[in-house]
Amino acid sequence: MQAYQGYSKEEMIKRKNELSLKYEDYKKQGLKLDMSRGKPCTEQLDLSNGLFSHTENLFAQDGFDCRNYGLVDGIKEAKALFAELFNVPEDQLIIGGNSSLNLMYDLIAKAFNHGLYGFEKPWSKLEKVKFLCPAPGYDRHFAVTELFGVEMITVPMKKDGPDMDMIEALVAEDESIKGMWSIPMYSNPTGITYSDEVVRRLAYMKTKAPDFRILWDNAYALHHLYDTPDKLADIISLCQEAGNPDRVYMFSSTSKVTFPGAGVAFIASSRANIDHLKKLISKQTIGYNKINMLLHVRFLKNADNVREHMRKHAEILRPKFEAVNEILEKNLSGKGIAAWNKPNGGYFISLDVYEGCAKKTVQLAKEAGVVFTPAGATFPYGNDPKDSNIRIAPTYPPISELKTAIEVLCVCVELAVLDKILA
């Protein structure tokens, strides 16, 4: 990016002085705005209050008493609902507890402690385990793999998914590369959806490690903002077709369909992977929360009804995403100092500011009372090599607060750049 092309030094100094006054003005307002996490807002949560209105009995359709122990892989009707929504056979699913992140953590713990289906030995017995980490990505993914001592390799994200040339070259050569994080639809934070070609290449690529596994975090599969949703290829079928049936584990949850923290999560994979996993899980629990599964199915009913419910979420979220885009456009476009995405779904807008300015921008915003996700958090080890990416989470704040927060952010972006180039 060529910053402030066509501006003279004097014009830049003048601009900086104007912005400094504006910034000091914001500081005096004593703002306390938190833009750091992608949470649904109260209005969105209210859409699911009906979840509790079908407690007349707690028996599943086949008569199973959901109040009691049992059914380690979940109740039949929850499997049927997720199978329909995510296009996977019912017997290739385990319905879990409230959190898909917990299922991902748990899968990695099992890969280290016991080994998964198709492993020669658990990863803990190996000298080194490496993971491919498309970035910018989800900070909590990277925190999990860091905790297990996995060496994380940053893979740049492109417009159609992660850099596949780089991935294919790496996995073909290095047997210690055992896994890869993926957020294939409306990715956190870049908002992109992997192209069919990228998904196919992931399913078909040759890997030196026979136990290479993809954690396919399909968190935003249902979270479209418009009536022209992105489409994601079916990686489980493609892996099967490619002769790599056990390569991928898919995760998702209703955290942002109903309630984060009190939703229902699931894991899907090949039948062999799921059968093996069920045996391991049966040692840690006699069953997840089946009452919650039952209430969810009664409330959400079927795939069409879920899609209708998600349209109501989109109606609440669309104006917020569009407001952010408009403010960024008005303040930052044409200056060569920032680029951002206009996502078709998901929970984030990813803002790339002039290289070397993200940390400074976030710090300035914080000092003015507006908290963003720490710069760098979207990269393994919190290290954004270009110090450029800032994640904007527009969903939670009321729109008036959101607008103020983004106005402040724009001032901070410009101040950070001007500071750098005038230094």
Residues that bind ligand PLP (CB under 6 A): 38, 99-101, 138, 183, 188, 217, 219, 253, 255, 260, 265
Q: How far is the CB of 217 from ligand PLP (least distance, A)?
A: 5
Q: How far is the CB of 390 from ligand PLP (least distance, A)?
A: 16
Q: How far is the CB of 255 from ligand PLP (least distance, A)?
A: 3
Q: How far is the CB of 392 from ligand PLP (least distance, A)?
A: 14
CA distance 314 to 146: 34
Q: Which is nearer to ligand PLP, 100 or 292 (CB)?
A: 100
Q: Which is nearer to ligand PLP, 202 or 411 (CB)?
A: 202
Q: How far is the CB of 235 from ligand PLP (least distance, A)?
A: 16
SS3 content of the chain, % helix, strand, coil (to 5): 45, 15, 40
Q: Which is nearer to ligand PLP, 100 or 193 (CB)?
A: 100
Q: Which is nearer to ligand PLP, 258 or 270 (CB)?
A: 258
Q: Which is nearer to ligand PLP, 100 or 361 (CB)?
A: 100
Q: How far is the CB of 152 from ligand PLP (least distance, A)?
A: 16
In DSSP terms, 94 is beta-bridged to 267
Terminal-residue alpha carbon distance, the chain: 18
> How many CA atoms lie within 13 Å of 143's alpha carbon, on the beta-carbon side?
8
Among 330, 328, 334, 331, which Cα is nearest to 1's?
334
CB 161 within 8 A of CB 184: yes
Q: Which is nearer to ligand PLP, 26 or 299 (CB)?
A: 299
For Cα atoms 268, 274, 279, give the angle at the middle one, nearest 5 degrees: 140
Q: How far is the CB of 27 from ligand PLP (least distance, A)?
A: 30
Q: Which is nearer to ligand PLP, 100 or 341 (CB)?
A: 100
Among 176, 133, 140, which Cα is nearest to 156's?
133
Q: Is 379 helix (H, G, I), strand (E, B) or coil?
A: coil
In DSSP terms, 243 is beta-bridged to none
Q: How far is the CB of 265 from ligand PLP (least distance, A)?
A: 5
In which element (H, E) is residue 5 found?
none
Q: Which is nearer to ligand PLP, 261 or 334 (CB)?
A: 261
3-state secondary structure labels for all residues of 146-171: HHCCCEEEEEEEECCEECHHHHHHHH
CB 153 within 8 A of CB 189: no
